[in-house]
Chains A and B, each alone.
Chain A
Amino acid sequence: MSGERQVGIVLVSHSGPVADSVAELARGLAAGGVTAPVAPAGGLPNGGLGTSAELIGRAAAAVDRGAGVAVLVDLGSAVLTVKAMLAEGDELPEDTRLVDAPFVEGAVAAVVTASAGGDLAAVEAAASEAYGYRKT
């Protein structure tokens, strides 16, 4: 566990309301201690559906506490935009990682783990493990 500095979580969705609500849900379910920094980056700056590199960059900078940033994405251009930004090298904070996880369940797992003081690897593992939880 990494002490005071918590891993930041960025939630990228094609839709502003989806990203905002999932962030609210994850924060709510993680409540109890100091909640890790979470920032939604949903939709386009004009409110339309899509993926905005600008909003993603801003969200990542806002949650970066020096312990790494985990980025969760919904689909399509959200995945490709984050991958392309990571390939560039200077548009996202150091130690930013795209996490392979289901968006809602992964966000909850990531925020709970980060809030408990888990490091970036622990946050990534918890979010990815959410794929394994079967519902039937």
Chain B
Amino acid sequence: MLDTDFFRRWMTAVAASVEREADHLTELDSAIGDADHGSNLQRGFTAVTAVLEKDAPATPGAVLTLAGRQLISTVGGASGPLYGTLLRRTGKALGDDEEVTQDQLAQAFAAGVAAVGQLGGAQAGDKTMLDALLPAAEALATSFDGAANAARAGAVATVPLQARKGRASYLGERSIGHQDPGATSSALLVEALAATVADGAGA
């Protein structure tokens, strides 16, 4: 079972990972975007860890809902409402349970990913976050590590794609050959989930 503390540690792990990879994310974003993805997410997840500490939400669902809301308020770029919607919808789908199963999380996460697709109007293959999140959501029901691997592979697989959503889509064919920053940060989110599970098992 996954308890409230697990979800708080997951968010803290994402914040640490975003912090570590911020320059890389911004570098990817400067190739096909507006060079702010790393700093935007860093600001967002720093605010997430602060508010989780301050408000100490009592359930897994409440942790993710609060985190999502905080991202929408603080990021300032499109990744704010997109990641905010992902976490908030996942949190809402988890309901009020004090502990949730891997299966519950997999189903809730799939609902969150679907909400991201609806908000941004993107589909698989458009060179967006979804190219990492959709395969991760599918794999999550069976394995956390499998989900992390699927997300990472999905992010790498965006390199040859042409962007069809967001600012990068204005570049047309020139967006080909670059890894999508949003898919890359989505992989960090799922990798942090798997790492949090591994840490818990080792403790």
Interface residues of A, Cβ cutoff 8 Å to B:
44, 48, 50-54, 76-77, 80-81, 83-85, 87-88
Contact = CB atoms under 8 A, between A and B. Distances in A.
Contacts, number: 48
Interface of B is mostly: helix
A88 B81 contact: no
B126 to A, nearest CB: 15
A54 B73 contact: yes
Interface of B: 36, 40, 69, 72-73, 76-78, 80-82, 84-85, 88, 115, 119-120, 166-167
B120 A80 contact: yes
A54 B119 CA distance: 20
A77 B73 contact: no
Contacts of A54: 73
A50 B39 CA distance: 13
A2 B48 CA distance: 43
A87 B68 CA distance: 12
A88 B82 contact: no
A77 B76 CA distance: 7
Contacts of A52: 76
12 contacts: A50-B40, A52-B76, A53-B72, A53-B80, A77-B81, A80-B78, A80-B81, A81-B72, A81-B81, A84-B119, A87-B115, A88-B88
